[in-house]
Amino acid sequence: MNKMTFDEVRTKASVRPATARKVAAAVEGFFVRHRTWLSWVHAVMFLVFLGIILVPVFLPDPPGNATPLTHYTTFANYLLWGLWFPLVFMSVIFTGRSWCGLLCPMGAAAEKANAYGPKFKIPSWLSWEGTPVASFLFVTVLGQTVGVRDHPEAAAEVFGGTMLAAIIIGWLFGSKKRAWCRHACPIGLLLGVFSRLGAVEFAPWTRKSTTEGYTDRGVCPTLIDISRKTESRHCIECFRCVNPSAKGGVHLEFRKPGVEIERIRDHHANPVEVWFLFLGTGIALGGFLWLVLPIFQKMRQSFGVWSIHNGMAWMGQPGPAWLMSVHPERNEIFLWLDFVMITGFMLGCMVLLAAVLAAFTSCSSALAGRAGGDGTFGSRFTELGYQYAPVAMVSLIIGLGGKLFEPIAYTPLGIDGVHGAKGLLFLIGLLWSIRLGERILARQGVVPSRRWLPLMPGLIGTLAVGLGWWPAIFGLMK
């Protein structure tokens, strides 16, 4: 099978109709001309952010019939979980990580603080690839135990604490860089993985090598060596490296959504990303299922009885309010029992789903090798692991950003319209994942007549994710 070089592939993928090129040039020109105004945009977003997470703390609780149009607390909650959360994830399909570079107040605050800090060298513990994974898992579990979607105090703690961490890390480390965005942001890596599906790419005019570069020099705030840039995940689209009049730097171009994952071997396929995709999907699923599955309450009851019989009376005591939900005025007080059960259940779901997806991906990798696929088992495993990106993203949007679909219930479509919209979105993600798996196998050299067999485990794994999120799409099965 003839192999194309990376430059040949990128050149072919970059060929677009004249209209698309003109639109890309127009967008690029607009942001280059007006990028000095971005600091004002960041300042406004910072104030909006503070208004959303802090103001509700000082307001009386909304009545039971409150809507986003009648009470500010309900409005702020809907902005966070009905618009911001799902739409930021959906936006990466169309604009990549533009949220991070153009609008995110946390990254901007971190970079602003960096101008006044000691500018210490970024330590190895921070630049370790597992740091953003640990950050995401910690914030996700904490958000569930403190009730971040239900209590304004919890939202202020989680989002305000994240903002404070961003400012501290930004103040301490790097010089004119966003060490927070590159190495520690809880959703930065997740958005980065999904941005590989995006229709936007910032590509270097001339590329020195096919190896992704990392450097603390140059203009890029997320430490990309732009002359060696091959992937989208760390690019926050701040437009600082874009200079249409210069031969160096990068330029904006449109591409077919998902093409970077289709050709993932040319774009620094990373096993840490794949395992994060598996783990992140699993822990997010656990964060939803403990709320709706009757089996969780049965497990909680059984563990509570066992704890009492074994002299662990402290399990029946409430814990600190910063670690778990303690709101007697709202008839919600979490005990240490609840904290242990929620955390354990989420971690258990994470491990279980990661094991399932890893098992099916291993099968696909082994079968691809038998069908003539090139590379090692490990390289094929990593490449095929990316096929779950669409269904994982859709799952997060449907399960944890379900408020986005609630307005449909007030239309003539009713609750069936909500289920239909969720089901259609998931079907799109499922089909897209299957398509990516087929394209990855093609790049591995598996001929069309033999692709169906290594594709089957990926299909089953995708359906397994859908089965896990079924209660979020259609409710509990009767």
pLDDT per residue over 8-63, tens digit each?
A: 444 444 445 678 888 888 998 899 898 889 999 999 999 999 999 999 999 999 99
What are the pLDDT digits (tens) for 403-452?
Answer: 888 888 888 888 888 888 888 998 999 999 999 999 999 999 999 999 99
Residues 323 and 393 both lie in one domain? yes
Of 244, 264, 284, which one is at a domain's C-terminal end?
Answer: 264
Residue 476 has pLDDT above 80, yes or no: no
Residues 139 and 255 both lie in one domain? yes
Which H or E run contains 462? helix 452-468
What are the pLDDT digits (tens) for 291-317?
Answer: 989 999 999 999 999 999 999 999 999
1 inside domain? no
What are the pLDDT digits (tens) for 153-181?
Answer: 999 999 999 999 999 999 999 999 999 99
Residue 26 burial (CB count, 10 A): 10
Residues 44 and 64 both lie in one domain? yes
127 inside domain? yes
Residues 155 and 216 both lie in one domain? yes
CA distance linking residue 31 with residue 200, whole number of Å: 14
Number of domains in the chain: 2
pLDDT at 210: 66
What are the pLDDT digits (tens) for 328-380?
Answer: 999 999 999 999 999 999 999 999 999 999 999 999 999 999 999 999 999 99
Name residue 416's amino acid: D
Q: DSSP string spanning 210-252? A: SSPPB-SSSS-TT-B-GGG---STT-----TTB-TTSSSSEEE
Residues 132 and 201 both lie in one domain? yes
Of 220, 245, 264, which one is at a domain's C-terminal end?
Answer: 264
Residues 333 and 449 both lie in one domain? yes
Residue 231 has pLDDT above 80, yes or no: yes
Which H or E run contains 332? strand 332-333
Contact 154, 143 (CB under 8 A): yes
Residues 14 and 154 both lie in one domain? yes
- Model-level pTM? 0.90
Strand partners, 333: 326
Of 239, 264, 289, which one is at a domain's C-terminal end?
Answer: 264
Nearest to 37 by CA among 48, 45, 49, 25: 45
pLDDT at 216: 85
